[in-house]
Amino acid sequence: MKEEISHKQFVILGLIAEEPCHAYSINQRIEERGMRNWTAIGKSSIYRIIQELEKIKLVNFFEEEVDNRKRKVYMITDYGARILKKKVFDVIKRFIGKNDEDFYVAFSMLPLLSKEQLIEAFSYSIVSIKKHKNELEVMLKSNSNYPILETDILFLEWVLEEIKEGEGKYDSKVVNK
């Protein structure tokens, strides 16, 4: 079963992957991190998104009792962890230097991937951006010094060097599931 998850599902699944939590806690983290400004996830949609993730078996839950009230605590499944890691890898790998809200989410989840996966994904992205830059320069008939996408390339090259020199800093937090 191959799942393609939406941007909103990606955000919520990533938050659940950080630690088992209930929907209210997810909402609090979205607020605290200012994510509501760029994710378009409303407070009421969190429950629907969690239900979608449950339906496709990316999360499950257990119930706990707090102050004589039962609440569901959601956690990522092994299958969900595999889908999440693949999504992070794919988003970084296909990034071509444009405004991509999934890239921002994936970038916040770099510790999910191994050092080797990060190097592969960022290297591929840099090559793709350089190719895209060259195509744009030809299309615009501009000289090769035109700063199209140069900032994106420099940033990703810096990230790649940091990862390579990180000595285990980027070892996967989610066990290879």
The two beta strands, 69-76 and 59-66, are antiparallel
Please indicate, yes or no, if residue 102 is contained in any of the structural domains.
Answer: yes
Residue at which a domain ends, from 57, 76, 95? 76
Question: Does residue 94 have a pLDDT over 60?
Answer: yes
Structure confidence at residue 63 as a pLDDT band (50, 70, 90): very high
* Structure confidence at residue 170 as a pLDDT band (50, 70, 90): low
Residue 2 within a domain: no
- Which domain range does residue 31 map to? 7-76
Give the mean model confidence (pLDDT) for residues 67-95: 95
Does pLDDT of 65 surpass 90? no
pLDDT (mean) for 91-116: 90
Domain count, the chain: 2
Same domain, 109 and 131: yes
pLDDT of residue 175: 41
**What angle, 0 to 180 degrees and rounded to 10, lies between the N-to-C axes of helices 23-32 and 7-18?**
100
Backbone φ and ψ of 142, nearest 5°: -100, 165
Q: How confident is the model at residue 99 (pLDDT cuts 50, 70, 90)?
A: confident
Spatial separation of the C-alpha atoms in residues 42 and 12, rounded to whole Å: 12
Closest CA to 101 of 8, 173, 14: 8
pLDDT tens across 126-154, in order?
A: 999 999 888 887 777 655 566 667 888 88
CA distance 116 to 82: 16
Does 170 map to a domain?
A: no
